[in-house]
A and B are shown apart, each in its own frame.
Chain A
């Protein structure tokens, strides 16, 4: 073989490797710079008061209390609703029907819903929950909107979790004389639960970061109280951050960075919880 040509090809390969590696590192470097910048901007504003104060016209008095509580309201109510609907749909598709045109239709529909821009869910929520059900710009309207938004993600991940329960475990249950629901509720769901919860947590962490649909539904940008019931107006962390970011004063930009730090810590905690669940219960059977 021609030695010179081989050397050129080898050099090309080496050059390509470095290029591809640089491309990969670009994304990682970006993440590094982003986190560094946010911490540098925001860390000076993190204090106990920052967590207990409401939004304010004065930078020194501004805090995330209303937004943090609002986000917690949204997650705590969206969680059970989306879990019930999502796991229910997944069980229906995986356990309760034979494959037919109808289940394929539902499946395709769910995949399409996953591709719908989140702001369109906001429009749906505005028309159906805020106006149609006359919930007004309340926590509950936000919760219903968010539940529909994360539903496709939860359905797909729950389906995978349910499918990964070995068939022989179902057989063992049926062979003991268990009915379908007994088999599902006592064998399939408990076995798939860690994986289902992982998917639900990841979906909820998406819900925590969503901004646009809640703006459309009518979450407020300036809230000086904590919502006391699901029918109260509310704001959430990303909207509060958005509000601070869009103000011209530098101080509010820095407060926005502090708000982002709070948001990222919440997201990180949820992601770690999901990874922990996944690793702890992986491959036990």
Chain B
């Protein structure tokens, strides 16, 4: 039958009333389905667009506020005035940063803007803390604040431009978001992206090392203090891996190729280890520093069936392990129990002072007490022989700074880390108030209350918050 014949045949069949209505119904159903799907998709797109717009407008508002608050802080003459403005600037910068993270613009384009907002926030926060302590701004800090304000103004300007384009409909979020659509990739998609990039470029000249806040760049590149010793080669490091696990257990140690441009502050060798008493695919991963051959971390992923030893035995096993690997004077501080394993924190103790920054985490399998995890980044980055001074205030004086209603259970000396990666020498008091256990740290030199931690004692571990 020719095509024409088929068509005629079909036409004839259509004349059959039943057939006709069935075809109509099917077409109508398909059309309705299509319309429904289209509307549904359009609706979802609109909702998404609204979310993007909300995040964007919110962010613009917060950036504007940061701008104003910074100038207010610069104008304010009293410490209280500066503190109040800076605190609010910190909050608003954080909110702006949160909203920035919700925009459908690729991260690399936003990175510097995000960094700027974080740094404004952290700087404001740090200054605010300093103000609360009664110390006024130094000239240098004042200048930095001025500079930051200048950047805030220019960011504000660029954002306003962008906002205008969005408001007049020349720009659409889905054009930014749909990077995949070829149609837009060359023309319109480039434009808005460039706009954001321009904003970002302003901040590329932004100095990276301007303050000592928690997120400043130089923190990322802190020189590890605990990594001592001579450079070791792959073979020497392999020997220390075998020693770490015990020669009687290790079956094979394979070096894992590193990328040559490993520019991390801590250079390492990686190994994959198999064991004599375990199946071939059950391996442990371990990394050893090139300098000194210290184990920086180890993970042995093996199933742990059942719980045969209690926490005290686990703590002992961890301590024995550390001692035999050359980590002397470590005391257990906190632990966490999950899935038949215990993660125990050990801190270094020097002359009866607990040094919390020198932290090693040990993961103990509770079926046979084997060590299946080890993490010593804290220890390696901060451990050294410290000159610990005599405390300037006595234990009693420090005790008197704590709420008299609290019951003190124990006390001692401790060095604690701050969020600025510095260390403070303190008295540590463990106490109880209204049925909650807490730790209070009183500066052993100034008597200032440095930190309060609430201890959560659960069946699964002792945690602090």
A and B found bound together: no
Residues of B at the A interface (CB closer than 8 Å) are: none
Residues of A at the B interface (CB closer than 8 Å) are: none
